[in-house]
Each structure stands twice: as C-alpha cells, then as structure tokens.
Amino acid sequence: MPLNKTLGNGVDIPNDDDYDDTPYFDYHHLKAIENHDSKYLCQSLSVSPGASHLTEEHIASTLSNIPEIPTASVPHAADPKVKFEAKDNAITTELRELYGALQKCLDLREKYIMLSGQRLMDDPRNSDDWEIYPAAPPKSWPLPPPEELERRKAKEKAREADPVAAVGSDFDFSQCKIPGAHVYQFGLGPEGHYQVYKNELDQTAGQPIHEFPTPREFYDDMDYILSVISDGPAKSFAFRRLRYLDSKWQMYILLNEFQELADSKRTPHRDFYNVRKVDTHVHHSSCMNQKHLLRFIKSKMKRSQDDVVIYRDGHELTLKGVFESLNLTAYDLSIDTLDMHAHKDSFHRFDKFNLKYNPIGESRLREIFMKTDNFIQGRYLAEITKEVVSDLESSKYQQVEYRVSIYGRSIDEWDKLAKWVVNNKLFSPNLRWLIQIPRLYNIYKASKNVDNFQDIITNVFQPLFEVTKDPSSHPELHVFLQRVIGFDTVDDESKPEKPIFKDFPLPKDWDSSNNPPYSYYLYYMYANTAALNKWRQLRGFNTLVLRPHCGEAGDTDHLTAAFLTSYGISHGILLRKVPALQYLYYLAQIGIAMSPLSNNALFLTYERNPLPQFFQRGLNISLSTDDPLQFHFTKEPLIEEYSVAAQIWKLSSTDMCELARNSVIQSGWEDQVKSHWIGKDWYKPGVEGNDMQKTNVPNIRVGFRHETLKEELDALRRYAPRKDASVNHEPMSKHDFVGVAGLAESSSIQQHLMAHKEDDWVENEMSSFPGVSMVAERAKLRTNH
C-alpha cells in the first residue's frame, strides 16, 4: 500500500493524516494500542499469530509450551497451563463483550432490513415467474437459426440508422397489464409516515398490517451503534482486524497472482471487456459527456431553431430567441464556453459544483435541455437520453442505474415523470431507474412550496400508495415503477446540521426554516418504504430498496443511519475514519458504490481514496461514475473509471472483473437477468455462486473472499452466539446468502458448540487472533484493580 509508512519499530500504520481530524480515531490512540501490544507481547502470549485453523492437538501442544509468566496475581502459579487458562478466561470475557456488541449491531440491521422487506427474497421481481416487459434480448450464443440471425442484424442496422427511434421500439404501453384495485386502506399513522390497514375498522382503531420501529426506537438504536463504534476497545479491535485482513490479502496475492492469471487465460471468450458491469451510481441529468451535450445543443440550434422551448416573463421563446438573448451562435459554443467540468475550482465547494449543472452558467439552458418537466415536456432530454442509451445497447456489456429526482414540492411530480418515461419509451434492457430525493426542505419552505416536512412526505409517498392500491389510478406510474429499483437521497453532506436526540418532532410539527438532519430524512424514507413494500409484496408488485448517497462528507451519523436502514450506499469514503463501522460494513457485506473520480473533484484526492484498501479488505464495493458530464471525457465513462483506477492502483484484470461482478450483485436487476449475466447460482456463497465462464473471476479468488469472511463471522459466533434475537427468524432462503445476510451460514459452528459444549478449545484457539493482545491487556488491567 502506497498510503502506508513504516515506523521505527517496523509497524505499518496508515498515513496518520487520515486520522487526524476525526473524533473516532487519532494518532495517539494508535500509538497507545501499539504500546499496549508490545508491552503485552513481551510478557506473554507467544502463540503464533495468523494461524486460523488450529487443531485440538496443536492447541494442546501450544499450551504445554507456554513460558512461565512471572505474575503473582494469577492463582495456581505452579502449573503453567492453569495460568494460561485463568488469563484466557479474562480475555474471553472481554472478547465476549466486544463481539456481543458487534453482533447486536448486526442484529439491529437485520431487524430493520427484514421489517422493510429489502432482502432479495422479499422482492417479487426476483421470483422465477416475474415477467419483464419488454423482454431482455435473447442470448447470442449458441447461434440462433439463420432467419433469426438475419432479423437481429436488420434490427442492429436500424439502430445505427436512427438510434433515437430504436431505443424502446419494442415497448407498447397498450400491451402492459394494469391490475385492479385492492381492498386494503392506507393513511398517515401517528408517527407521520404512511401505514397500510386491512379495512376501515382497523384504520380507525390504529392497527396497521405491520408495525415498524418508531422514530424514538430508531434514534435509540442509532445511539447504541454510535456508542459501540466510538468505544475505544471496539475501534482498536476493529482496526486490528482490518489490518489483519490487509495482511491476509497481501499474502494471498503473493501466493496466487500467477494462478489467477493462468485461470483467466484458460477461460475461453471472456475478458474484462465482455463481463457485465453496472454503473451503480450515476445521475441521469449528467449521464452524457460534455462533448455529446455540446453536439446535441449545436444540432438543435441548426435544425430546430424555431422550436418554442421556454416560457419566460410572459413570452414564449424559440430556441433561436433564447440564444439571441444570450448573444450566442452555434459557432461560439465549445466545451470551454459550456464550462460544465468540475475539476480544480469545485474541490470542497459543493455549492460551485451544483452551479456546474448549468450549461454556460445559464439556468435557462439547464431548464431547456436537462429537465424532464419543462415547456417541451422534456423532449430534448429524452432524445439525448436515447442517444446515450443506444450507445450502451450497442456496447452491450455496460448497464446503468439512472437516478432521477422527485423533489416533493408538489403531488403530481410522479405522474409527470412516469408519463415522460412512458411516452418517450425510455425502456431498455441496459437501463433501470432509482429515485433521488434531494434534501431541500429548507429551500421549499423559504419559497413557500411547503408548510412543513409532512408536505414533502405526502408529495413523495402518497402517489406510490395510491398506485399500489389501484394501479389503474396512475397507469403510467405503475408501469414505470416496475423499472424502478429504489430510493436515493442527495445533497451536500458537509452542510452542518443540528442533531436531534432528545425531542422527536413529528413531520407535521417540523415547520421551522431549518432543514431536518440526514438521519431524520432517512428514517422517514425508511418507514414509508417499509410500509409500501409490505403492501407491494402482498400484491405481487416489485418492492423498493434504499441506496442513499452516504459518507461522502459530513458526520458519522449518516453512515450509522444508513447501516441500519439501507440496502446499500454510494460513496462511503468516510468509513476510512471509523474502523469499527467499516468492520461492520464488511461483516454485513453492504454494497458500496464508489466513485473515486468524483471524489477527486469534490472531497478527496485520488491518491488518498480508500477504495484500494476497502477492496483488499474484502468490502463489497463497485466502481461507478456519479456524473459523467462533470468528470469524464470519453463516451464510455464507466470504462474510463475502471481504466483510471487500474492505472493508478495497479488493479489486475481479475480485480477489475471482481469489481464488475460486485456491481452486478449490488444492482437492482431482476434475478433472471443476473443469472444470465453472472451465472444461475450467483446468489450462493463462495465458489458455488461463481460461474467463471461468465464472470471471468477465478474460483480461487471467490473462494478466498468467502473463506475470509466466514472466518470473521465464525469468530463472531463463537463469542457472541445468538440466543433468541428479538426478530423472528424465518427459515433461511437461498437469497439470504447475499448482501444483507452474508450472515446466514454460521449455524454449523453454533450447532457444534451446542452439541459438544466444548467452548474451551475454540476460545483457546482465539488466543492466536490478531487484536486479542490488546483485549488481553485491558483484561489484565481490570483483574489487577
């Protein structure tokens, strides 16, 4: 790791300025751990570190070789074995506490995810009989009969001739099935989020079909996790475990690099270019690159200058009129005058970055070219979107999850957006949507669009409940929602916010001019989505997940709130400052869509980006572009992102294929599609779930990742076996193994323990556990006092 430097004592520590401005982990803290360790290691515990599969005999022989420990506080000082065990009990108690706390955090997350129906198995779109309309393109191998081949070739030709017309040409709204109304009712519950009721009787009695955590419960749970991850021993311990994972990775690469290369060579046909990769985080309004946008604007100025495009100050203006008022001709326009690239001037200036969305700094042009809801009903944006999507379709292996905004200013936003998508036939096998909700309550409040926070909740969620109750009330929205994966929330995270921990104002009482904090937004998105999902699941409609922007800047609260409530996150670069939370994200294998080029322009320079470290530790990360319009130069921004990462961090082709595979797993495509892309058993853990013929990731790599994770989880289970958690554990289904619960396959160890009651050997084995010496030191201090 280029980020590391070596201290005099030969201990690698990360660049200390990574830790200098965090309350969670500082340099002195790091030194303290090292001192503890060395002190303790001098005196005792000479068991070899790193051995993870010790046998009982090995333990026995290790125990008999323990040197004499000169302490009087330990009873039975004559027998070295007894001494060790006595000490070990103290260590064990400490470890139990630590692991118990970590396990509780994971249990909490599981509870929230389960209650909100965000697991893969909860989403009807992942069932085998889910119908995708228009259907995904057929497999190209083995070759179809000649007449079919002819037909496909003709289709490809037609696309080249007219890309805009080709996209979505197989979609016909009249062919879509629109189901009828459902008997259940919905309404606002006492906590200010929507609830679903069986009938009116239940509604008046306040008995919804499902109960969800209240805001108070949510803030208590968040508090608990915050206390765990800021606890000294826990963060030291997690930091040790993460460093252990680093070392383990380095060892693995040293030993297996060439084997991986050989394995990849042996796979016919597949290479980095033809594995599927999903751009897991990209904003629709900046999905095209600058050159593309420029070309588009110029062509519109030449060919359609008489289009009436905007209504300003009581006048309808044509495109020609707009450019005349700006004193510009097509000839004047260049990338430089467009000025939409964010490089030097936007670092740590999110305000400036937002202005970059205006072509030539003119909000009028943004309004005309980059909005779905404008005087021309978003026709231009739809056309340019189709051009971009057509490029994706012809490159075949790149997919996008576009984020489009629902602001919550008025209740008809959903219908307008859905009509825009449906009427313009923006349907493609390479395209799915996420809804981003900007956290702009304070602005709408100031401009008197809303009275209180409740208005935003109503505007965002009421149409979704209406369409779930009766799809025929908003038919376009029903069809559009089938292609929507979930919700995101966006804005500048570095804005200061007032935390609320004592009083929990209801949304209807939140009428001050202040913006609610991140966690408050996320809680209400969570609660509403949860209620909605339960109903949609019941009706056989696809459910929605939360995948917010999180941990790009700002407080640790954000990452904690998302840990509880969200299926995955975007950015997450601040996890580098919170070791215990990073370790939890690792254990839960929460998907993180990282965008180092975007971070480089806004918050964190490229060389300090934690992506390579997260990757080697085995966090579930993928690469994404964020804003191609602002950050990228080519027409394949996703490849550009991979390319820069590969060059700077020396990623091997196996690394890139692994990132690509992660991106498919994190994405929201239907199970059938994922099976086609990365293998029919993709949801299974470890090597079983890898189809090298499709992913080009060697089994040896997938096996290593899985074994490593399993060992960490096994350790967790030895020390913190789950008794009966507060959540109802349904029998695990196949889909539990991915994402939310990499936690599922631990039962064998637990059963072993319960059957044999042989706690001791397992715990002795743990003496060889990195991080344990620090725990031991603390235990010793405690017994001495």
Q: Is there a contact between 535 and 470 (Cβ–Cβ < 8 Å)?
A: no
> How many Å apart are CA 367 and CA 326, to the nearest integer?
14
Shortest reach from residue 283's CB to Zn ion, in Å: 6
In the window 449-468, what residues touch Zn ion (CB under 5 A)?
Answer: none
Q: Report in angstroms how near the CB of residue 281 gets to Zn ion at its nearest.
A: 6
Shortest Cβ distance from residue 280 to Zn ion (Å)? Answer: 11
Residue count of the chain, please give it: 785
3-state SS of 209-261 is: CCCCCCHHHHHHHHHHHHHHHHCHHHHHHHHHHHHHHHHHHHHHHHHHHHHHH
Query: How many other CB atoms are there within 10 angstroms of residue 119's CB atom?
Result: 21
Given the complex with Zn ion, which of 626 and 670 has the nearer CB atom? 626
Least distance in angstroms from the C-beta of 645 to Zn ion: 17
Cβ nearer to Zn ion, comparing 668 with 679: 668
- Between the alpha carbon of residue 736 and those of residues 121, 480, 678, 740, the distances in Å are 7, 27, 18, 7
The question of whether 571 is a catalytic residue gets the answer yes
Q: Which of 88, 246, 279, 626 is in the footprint of Zn ion by CB under 5 A?
A: 626
Q: Which is nearer to Zn ion, 293 or 580 (CB)?
A: 293
Residue 311 and residue 317 in contact, taking contact as beta carbons nearer than 8 Å: yes
Handedness of CA 76, 81, 83, 85 (dihedral sign): negative
Q: Are 527 and 189 in contact (CB under 8 A)?
A: no
Residue number, nearest CB to Zn ion: 626
333 or 573: CB nearest Zn ion: 573
**By C-beta, is 333 or 574 nearer to Zn ion?**
574
User: Which H/E stretch holds residue 317?
Assistant: strand 315-318
Catalytic residue, candidates 193, 571, 632, 706: 571
Residue whose C-alpha is closest to residue 19's, from 225, 180, 242: 242
Segment near Zn ion (CB under 5 A); pick from 265-273, 298-306, 427-435, 625-633: 625-633
CB of 547 to Zn ion, least distance (A): 11
User: Least CB distance from residue 549 to Zn ion, whole Å?
Assistant: 5
> Which residue in 117, 186, 101 sits closest to 565, CA to CA?
117
The Cα 268–Cα 365 span in angstroms is 49
Least Cβ distance, residue 638 to Zn ion (angstroms): 14
Task: Check binding of 491 to Zn ion (CB under 5 A).
Answer: no
Q: Which stretch binds Zn ion (CB under 5 A): 623-631, 677-685, 688-696, 745-753?
A: 623-631
**640 CB neighbour count, 10 Å cutoff:** 18
Region from 86-94, 618-626, 648-656, 762-770 binding Zn ion, contact rule CB under 5 A = 618-626
Residues 167-186 that bind Zn ion (CB under 5 A): none
Kindly indicate which of the ranges 370-378, 620-628, 677-685, 733-741 contains the residues binding Zn ion, using the contact rule CB under 5 A.
620-628
- Cα distances from 325 to residues 320, 329, 369, 381, in angstroms, run 9, 10, 16, 22
- Residue 570 or 696 having the CB closest to Zn ion: 570
Applying CB under 5 A, which part among 208-216, 331-339, 624-632, 729-737 lies near Zn ion? Answer: 624-632
DSSP 8-class letter at 405: E
Distance, in Å, from the CA atom of 501 to the CA atom of 519, rounded to the nearest integer, reads: 11
Q: How far is the CB of 356 from Zn ion (least distance, A)?
A: 13
Cis? peptide before 137, omega within 30° of 0: no
- Helix/strand/coil percentages in the chain, nearest 5: 55, 10, 35
**CB closer to Zn ion out of 101 and 562:** 562
Kindly tell me which of 120 and 278 has the beta carbon lying closer to Zn ion.
Answer: 278
Please tell me the count of residues contacting Zn ion according to CB under 5 A: 1
Which are the catalytic amino acids?
571
Residues near Zn ion, by CB under 5 A = 626
